[in-house]
Amino acid sequence: MEEPMKHYVSCGLLVRSGRVFLVHRSPSKAKYPNVWDLPGGHIEEFENSRQAIVRELREELNVEIVEPNTEDLLATRQEENLFLEIWRVSEWDGEIINAAPDEHDDFGWFTLDEASSLDLASDDYQALFKQVLD
């Protein structure tokens, strides 16, 4: 029997003025449809997770960030077929737009209280939001 494909994912937790930035995953997405999530995506074969988050934020939000430092790594999560890294992003160049409307149908800035009322892609996000907003 063939092993399931392992997914390596890098996400950015954008933080500004006491709010976190989230994207709403399109209802047509195969994985985690119709929930609020962090922008990011799969790490390509030729890149590491820091390079991936730079590329993903450019592709999805049309912003440029500096490759994050190791102290910007907020969390890692490993499951059977997923390895996820979440990077804190507090500086970027450019105005955020939805440059990937096929992936996200909405986006916005949320306070901790606002984010806690959303249907999130992961239950772990609440602790991360509290960590970066306190």
Q: How confident is the model at residue 3 (pLDDT cuts 50, 70, 90)?
A: low
126 within 8 A of 20, measured Cβ to Cβ: no
Distance CA 50, CA 12 (A): 10
Instruction: Give the span between the Cα atoms of 128 and 72, in whole angstroms.
Output: 12
Closest CA to 69 of 49, 99, 46: 49
Mean pLDDT value across the chain: 92
Tens-digit pLDDT profile for residues 9-42: 999 999 999 999 999 999 888 788 899 999 999 9
pLDDT at 1 over 90: no
pLDDT band, very low/low/confident/very high, at 4 (cuts 50, 70, 90): low
- Mean pLDDT over 110-119 rounds to 96
What pLDDT, on a 0 to 100 scale, did the predictor assign at position 9?
Answer: 94
Length of the chain: 134
Q: What is the pLDDT of residue 81?
A: 85
> Residue 5's pLDDT is what?
64
In this prediction the pTM is 0.92
Q: By the 8 A CB rule, do 63 and 57 touch?
A: yes
Look at residue 80 in the predicted model and tell me its pLDDT: 82
Per residue in 77-95, pLDDT (tens digit) is 888 888 999 999 999 999 9
